[in-house]
Amino acid sequence: MDGTGNPSYLAVIAMRFVDELEIEVQGGDGGNGAVAFRREKFVPLGGPSGGDGGKGGDVVFITDSGLGTLNDLRFRRVIAGGRGEHGRGADQFGAGGKEEELRVPVGTQVYDARTDELLVDLDELGVRHVIARGGDGGRGNMRFATPHDRAPRRADEGRPGERLTLRLELKLLADVGVVGFPNVGKSTFISTVSRAQPKIADYPFTTLTPNLGVASLGPDRNFVIADIPGIIEGASEGAGLGLRFLKHVERTRVLLHVVAPDPDPDRNLVSDFEKLMVELEGFEPELAKRPMIVVLGKYDLPDAAEELPALRKAMAERGLDVLTMSSATRQGVDDVLLALERLLLDNPVDGAPEPPPLPTANDRPADHPAAGHLGSAQDDDDE
C-alpha cells in the first residue's frame, strides 16, 4: 500500500502476472429432442416431426502469442460452453451451443486439479485443444418411428457436457534464460538488447515478474531472452520468490549466468555462482547440466577486473569460459549475444533444419545491427 491506502505500483504489476490458477470448465449441455406431430392440411395421417436437440458447445484452449500471463482467466472461476437448443416440430433440429474459446499463453500446462494428471501441454503457437466437450443433443420422436410404431411419443433428453476442475500452470518459453542473484544487472541487460522495459533500480528484488525480450542480430537471427527473478540462496526450498519463478527456467534452451561484484564482503563471484547452481540443481537436476554461458557483468566497476582471474580459474575447472560486459556502457554486449546465438545453434530444437554458417566478428559490416545499439528501447540517457 502507498500512503493513501491504495495498492502501490509495484504491487499492481506483481498482481497482473499470474502463472498459476484453478478454474472449472463445463461443456454445454445438449438440447432435448422434441415430441411433435404433423398437422399439415393435406397430410391426413400426420406423423412424427420432432427434431433432435443441438449439441452443447465445447470449451477450447487456444494458444496466443500476444499473451504472457494467465491474468485474463483470473476471475473466471466457472467457464461453460453454450447449451444446445431443444428440437422443435416440423423436423426442426436445435442449433448447437456456442463454443467457449479460452486464449492462453504459449507454455501453459493444463492439469486435472483432482488427480494432478497432466492433460495437455500447450507449448506451441496456434494450438487448439478441446478440453471439455459439449453433450450430444437428444433424439426427437421422428427418430423412433418404425413400421410398428408410426406415432412414437418418446424423445431423448440432451446429455450433459463434460465438467472438469483444472489447474493451469504457465512455464514461459524462451531460448535464453538469464539467471543470477538479485541486482547483478539482468534487467539492464535485457532492456539493452531488446525492447523490453523492466523496472531498473539500484536495490535488490527490483524485478518481481519474469520479463521477455527479443534480441536481434539481423534478419532471421532473433531469439527470445527471459529474465528470471527471485532466485536467491535457498530458493529451491521456498526462500524468496524462487519456487514461484524457478519453474520458468525449465523451458529455456540455454542459460546466461550473470555474476557481478557486490559490496558485501562475505560474497564473491565464485561463491555466488556455486550457490545459484546448487539452487538450480536442487529444483531440477537437469538444469545444472544445461548449456550455459557465464558473464561477469558491471565490468565498468573498478572491482570487476580484480575478481576476473579467480572467476575464470574456477569456471575453467567446470569447462566454462567467462565473458565480460557492461550493459550500462554496452561494452561486450555484442560478444555475449553472438556467443548466445552460437550456443543456440549448437543446441537446436529437435527436428529443426541445419542452420547456415554464422559470420564471424571480423565479417560484420559496419552497418550490421551487432556492430552498434541492438534494438534498445532506451537511449543512453535513460540507463
How confident is the model over 355-368, as a mean pLDDT? 47
Count of residues making up the chain: 383
The percent helix, strand, coil of the chain (3-state, each to 5) is 25, 20, 55
Nearest Cα residue to 120 out of 63, 64, 73: 63
**CA 107 from centroid of its chain's CA atoms:** 4
Whether the CB-CB separation of 188 and 180 falls below 8 Å is answered with no
Give the tens place of pLDDT for each residue, 173-223.
Answer: 678 888 888 777 777 887 777 765 544 434 344 444 566 677 777 777 787
C-alpha cell at 41: 392440411
pLDDT above 60: residue 130: yes
How confident is the model over 222-231, as a mean pLDDT? 73
Q: Helix 302-317 crosses helix 269-283 at what angle (to 10 degrees)?
A: 50
Return the pLDDT at 195. 61
Q: Which domains does the chain have, with CATH numbers?
A: 9-170 (2.70.210.12), 174-382 (3.40.50.300)
% of residues, the chain, pLDDT over 70: 74
Q: Which residue has the higher pLDDT, 243 or 267?
A: 267
Task: Kindly provide the residue ranges of all beta strands, DSSP E only, lying in the chain, ordered along the sequence.
Answer: 20-26, 59-63, 78-80, 100-104, 108-112, 118-122, 128-132, 163-170, 174-179, 211-216, 222-227, 252-259, 292-296, 322-324
- 3-state DSSP assignment of residue 244: helix
For all residues of the chain together, what is the average pLDDT?
77
How confident is the model over 63-86, as a mean pLDDT? 85
How confident is the model over 254-263, as a mean pLDDT? 85
Return the pLDDT at 352. 44
Q: pLDDT grade, residue 371 (50/70/90)?
A: very low
Amino acid, res. 207: T
pLDDT above 80: residue 301: yes
